[in-house]
């Protein structure tokens, strides 16, 4: 089946125009949804309090009653085991352990350590927590300097030791409470996990790659029928080298797909400002990937209906994992971990310049090589069984 037989200019233009309009519409809708989601979604912070000092609740209340703080965080207080179990189950984004004697150390100017535990897959929330508690530490240090000066003045007075201690504690609490309760303490901006681009920019090219995959399925069904015809059997038996046979199959499918999705590449290059060469290479790579995947599926499955259903399921799964149908930033953590195995995610990041790791390239080429080796084996097996 040649490119000319597959290609219809009117059908290709109509398909691409509808696809581009759909992408622009969905990207705008999802961009608004993500912005709203990020604005509303709070960080769920677990709190393990091991300090039994009578003043600890006064300090904690300054956080839990602060409107800026509660706008960012949902505070959940429970025993250690319950908090850790919720954290491991992804119910909590992070948890903080306030150790024993924390308040005493704070009041008497000794070093304090607060342990903060976050998920590896939440870099944005981790940065927010780190910057927030770092700011808190600096404010406490400033308060300590003030209270130390006040304490020195008290020791020079004629007050009793107990009176000096009570006055110092009260003053320390007032200074610290006033400092951490200021409205301008928490100046935090929600950051995108895909640094350098907007979610809609990522979504539009990831969805384009997924649409290419769905668009190749009808072409490959025709290829399926052709490969099960007597013409294909005669071609196999003609002695044509298997690498050339594979090159013809992939070249025809990839070129046809590329021609029918040229408008996607042009629209994306204009929309993103990236180099047209970079975008074109990305589209060629994804076309070769889909072509290789479907060809392997053709050679493995003998039932036409089973091939069609299987290809739809595979394409849907890879599209979801690649962030093509659901914005990547709001995907659950477990899905994000699985998404690392989606070629759509790797190619999208490579096209956008978000990553250039040799490991990512090698893993993608290893997948293609594995598919080609399987196809070579299946074609060789089929040729061996063809009667000349």
**Could you report the per-residue pLDDT of 217-234, keeping only the tens digit for each?**
777 677 666 666 665 666
Region 286-295 average pLDDT = 77
Domain boundary among 180, 203, 234: 180
**Whether residue 345 sits in one domain with residue 302:** yes
Q: Per the domain annotation, does 189 fall within a domain?
A: no
Region 67-89 average pLDDT = 79
The larger pLDDT score, comparing residue 84 to residue 370, is at: 84
Q: What is the pLDDT of residue 196?
A: 47
Q: What is the pLDDT of residue 300?
A: 76
The structural domain count of the chain equals: 2
Q: What is the pLDDT of residue 146?
A: 60
| Proportion of the chain above pLDDT 90, given as a percent | 0
Q: What is the pLDDT of residue 4?
A: 46
Three-state DSSP class for residue 121:
coil
Domain boundary among 180, 205, 229: 180
Burial 35-68 (b: 16+ CB within 10 A, else e): eeebeeeebbbbbbbebebebbeebbebbeebeb
Region 153-172 average pLDDT = 70
Region 109-116 average pLDDT = 67
* Structure letter (DSSP) for residue 42: P
**Whether residue 242 sits in one domain with residue 346:** yes
Indicate the angle between helix axes 276-300 and 304-321, nearest 10 degrees: 140
In sequence order, what are the beta bridge partners of 117?
Answer: 95
Average pLDDT over all residues of the chain? 68
**Whether residue 146 sits in one domain with residue 105:** yes
179 pLDDT more than 70 = no
Model confidence pTM above 0.75: no
Q: What is the pLDDT of residue 230?
A: 60
80 pLDDT more than 80 = yes
Cβ-proximal residues to 299 (8 Å cutoff; 6+ apart), any chain: 227, 374, 375, 378, 379, 382
**Whether residue 329 sits in one domain with residue 306:** yes
**Whether residue 238 sits in one domain with residue 353:** yes
Domain that holds residue 55: 42-180
> 248, 278 in Cβ contact below 8 A?
no
> 106, 112 in Cβ contact below 8 A?
yes
């Amino acid at each position: 089946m040649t490119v000319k037989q597959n290609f219809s200019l009117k059908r290709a233009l109509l398909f691409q125009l509808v696809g581009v309009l759909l992408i622009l519409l969905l990207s705008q809708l999802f961009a608004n949804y993500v912005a709203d989601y990020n604005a509303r979604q709070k960080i769920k912070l677990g709190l393990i309090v091991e300090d039994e000092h009578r003043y600890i609740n006064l300090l904690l209340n300054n956080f839990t009653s602060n409107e800026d703080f509660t706008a960012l965080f949902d505070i959940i207080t429970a025993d250690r085991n319950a908090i850790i179990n919720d954290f491991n189950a992804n119910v909590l984004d992070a948890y903080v352990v306030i150790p024993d004697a924390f308040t005493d150390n704070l009041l008497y100017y000794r070093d304090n350590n607060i342990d903060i535990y976050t998920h590896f897959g939440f870099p944005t929330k981790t940065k927010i927590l780190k910057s927030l508690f770092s700011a808190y530490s600096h404010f406490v240090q400033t308060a300590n300097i003030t209270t130390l000066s006040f304490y020195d003045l008290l020791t020079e007075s004629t007050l009793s030791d107990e009176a000096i201690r009570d006055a110092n504690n009260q003053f320390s609490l007032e200074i610290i409470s006033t400092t951490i309760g200021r409205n301008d303490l928490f100046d935090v901006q929600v950051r995108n996990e895909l640094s350098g681009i907007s979610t809609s920019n990522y979504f539009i090219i990831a969805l384009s790659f997924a649409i290419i995959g769905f668009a190749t399925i009808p072409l490959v069904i025709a290829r399926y029928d052709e490969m099960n015809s007597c013409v294909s059997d005669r071609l196999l038996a003609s002695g044509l080298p298997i690498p050339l046979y594979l090159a013809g199959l992939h070249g025809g499918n990839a070129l046809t797909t590329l021609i029918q999705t040229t408008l996607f590449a042009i629209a994306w290059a204009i929309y993103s400002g990236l180099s047209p060469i970079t975008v074109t290479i990305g589209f060629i790579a994804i076309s070769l990937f889909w072509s290789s995947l479907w060809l392997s599926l053709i050679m493995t499955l003998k039932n036409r209906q089973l091939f069609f259903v299987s290809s739809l399921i595979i394409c849907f799964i890879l599209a979801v994992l690649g962030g093509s149908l659901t914005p990547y930033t709001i995907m659950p953590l477990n899905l994000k971990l699985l998404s690392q195995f989606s070629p759509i995610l790797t190619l999208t990041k490579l096209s956008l310049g978000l990553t250039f790791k040799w490991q990512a390239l090698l893993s993608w080429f290893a997948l293609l090589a594995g598919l080609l080796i399987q196809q070579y084996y299946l074609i060789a097996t089929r040729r061996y069984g063809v009667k000349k």
